[in-house]
Amino acid sequence: MEIHQLRYVQAIAETGSFTAAAARLYLAQPSLSVQVRKLEHELGAALFERSGRHVTLTAAGEVFLQHANRALGELDRARESVREAQRPAARLRVTLGVLPSVGAGLLPGALASLRREHPEVTVSVVERDSSEEFVDMVRTNRLDLAAVRKQTVQAELSRMPLAREPLAAVLPPGHPLAGRSETSLRALAGESYVAMPAGSALRELMESACRRVGFAPAIAIEARHLASVWAMVRAGIGICVLPELAADAGLPTVHIQEPYLHRDLVVVWRGAGALAPPSRAIVRHLVSASHLASASGRGRTAEPPGLLGLPDPLDGDGGAGRAG
């Protein structure tokens, strides 16, 4: 199967005619027909029903065209990405995907440090509450880097441990637990909760943690953005259970003491080997911000790569942490 054969099928399907497709492709019609017959012979199925001058796709042809369109789309994007990468400015631009807790807790300090050290690097940040989506975006070359939950990482991506996020209860001012340093999640069973929308990763994290200790949280209100969640909590509508990195420093925050209630974050990228210098700098500043957050009591740093049995992908020797 050849790439040009995919384009031939695409052109015939779009024009509904071998003659029109041949004209669009600057081919002689007999040559086009020969190539399609070769492809049909290889596939063992007819792709077109021929009735006079008009042709239509068979059922097999419909299925094949869907895959051909995706394959050709990926090839076009690959060409554009290569052209883009050759431009000098592109080599200093990094696209980074972050979860809301990383965007709120680690990213501002990391990027401020990056700007002081490497003002020539431009970072395009995408913030969403879906590790699975970010993993797919990295895999398909739509992101250079992403900070995601460790459990979502596919085997073909490289990774670097970033942070372990314990859970915390974010409380309204004056709440009876506001003066405590920690509490059990079970002690919060009778509270009203402010939550992210159903189906979001942070909502599922909160609900699964509550289920694990034996109750379902009573959701008083949903809000789509962390800033809105914090505002609702500040107004006294309810409490919220979030990763400590996502907590608003202006609200009372109480650490949840169950040690198993946490999530592990990693930074992922395509391929193996040492990162390109701009991406390498971003990862180092994110890890540094994670250590600073841990020192201030917001979150915990991830285990060093060596303790996870992973070589450090930033050490310049070509090693790369691989997802397992």
**Are 244 and 206 part of one and the same domain?**
yes
Last residue in a domain, options 86, 105, 131: 86
Do residues 174 and 180 make contact, with C-beta atoms less than 8 angstroms apart? no
CA 245/CA 265 separation, integer angstroms: 11
pLDDT of residue 87: 57
* Residue 276 placed within a domain: yes
Q: Are residues 275 and 159 in the same domain?
A: yes
Domain assignment present for 316: no
Listed in order, strand segments (DSSP E) in 128-257 are 145-149, 157-170, 182-183, 192-195, 218-222, 240-243, 253-256
């929308």: which residue's tokens? 197
| 270/152 same-domain check | yes
pLDDT of residue 318: 36
| Amino acid 311: pLDDT | 38
β-strand 54-57 against 48-51: which pairing, if any? antiparallel
Are 284 and 139 within one domain? yes
Contact between residue 10 and residue 72 where contact means Cβ atoms under 8 Å apart: yes
Q: Which pLDDT belongs to residue 92?
A: 79
Q: Are residues 155 and 116 in the same domain?
A: yes
CATH of residue 296: 3.40.190.10
Residues 145, 294 within the same domain:
yes
The predicted pLDDT at position 21 comes to 86
Are both 215 and 249 inside the same structural domain?
yes
Domain boundary among 86, 121, 142: 86
Q: What is the pLDDT of residue 166?
A: 84
- What's 54's domain CATH number? 1.10.10.10
Q: Give the count of domains, the chain.
A: 3
pLDDT of residue 307: 30
Domain annotation covers residue 36: yes
Q: Is residue 239 included in any domain, yes or no?
A: yes
Determine, yes or no, domain membership for 68.
yes
Q: Report pTM.
A: 0.58
How are beta strands 93-98 and 240-243 bridged, if at all?
A: unpaired
- Segment (H or E) for 43: helix 29-43
Identify the CA nearest to 109 among candidates 242, 249, 206.
249
With a cut of 50, which residues of the chain have pLDDT below it? 89-90, 299-324
In a domain, 318, yes or no: no
- Output the DSSP codes for 275-308: PPHHHHHHHHHHHHHHHHHHHTTSSEEPPPGGGG
Asked whether residue 117 falls in the same domain as residue 148, the answer is yes
Q: Quick one: 9 and 51 in the same domain?
A: yes
> Of 161, 164, 159, 162, which Cα lies nearest the Cα of 275?
159
**Whole-number pLDDT of residue 220:** 95
Spatial contact of 245 and 98, defined as CB atoms under 8 Å apart: no
Asked whether residue 324 is assigned to any structural domain, the reply reads no
The HSE-up count of residue 249 (CA atoms within 13 Å, CB side) is 9
pLDDT in tens, 94-122: 999 998 888 888 888 899 999 998 888 88
3-state helix, strand, coil in the chain (%, to 5): 45, 20, 30
Judgement on whether residues 285 and 252 belong to the same structural domain of the protein: no
Please tell me whether residues 145 and 206 are part of one structural domain. Answer: no
Q: Which of the listed residues 215, 234, 256 is the one where a domain comes to its end? A: 256
Same domain, 95 and 108: yes
Domain interval for residue 139: 89-164+265-308
